[in-house]
Amino acid sequence: MATAKPNISGSPRRGKGRLILWGGLLAVALLAWFWKPLHSHARAAAAESARLVCPCRFVAGRGMDSCRRDIPGGIGPVFLSEDTEEKGVTALVPLLSSQTATYREGLGCVLEPWEN
């Protein structure tokens, strides 16, 4: 009569937990590796979008929907909001960066200083 071999590698749940742990560590390592270029691209995309939409909105007087079409297609997912009281436009790249451009009399639209 044959006897079953004991499972020396641990339970199936334990193997799954290790897989999840290693997958999570790999994801964190990749994020750390690519964070700087992703953040830099997001900051530039947000700044460019705010810089384009602010004068469109507050100098030319066009609507936000019309101004959104001025943003180049390859710039990525950028969300826009406006502050009509302060005459500013904020462009947001989710989880990565946001930039604001504000209209100033005599200067036009000016980007707010970048914070590190």
pLDDT of residue 5: 58
pLDDT of residue 84: 93
pLDDT of residue 88: 96
The pLDDT profile of the chain, 116 residues, written as one tens digit per residue, is 556 555 555 555 567 788 888 888 888 888 777 878 888 899 999 999 999 999 999 999 999 999 999 898 888 889 999 999 999 999 999 988 999 999 999 999 999 987 65
pLDDT of residue 66: 93
| Strand duo 88-93 + 97-104: pairing | antiparallel
> pTM of the entire structure?
0.70
pLDDT of residue 3: 61
C-alpha dist (Å) from residue 50 to 1, 21, 22: 77, 40, 39
For the chain, the structural domain boundaries read 42-111
pLDDT of residue 82: 95
* Residue 100 structure tokens: 């604001």
* Cβ atoms of residues 80 and 74 within 8 Å: no
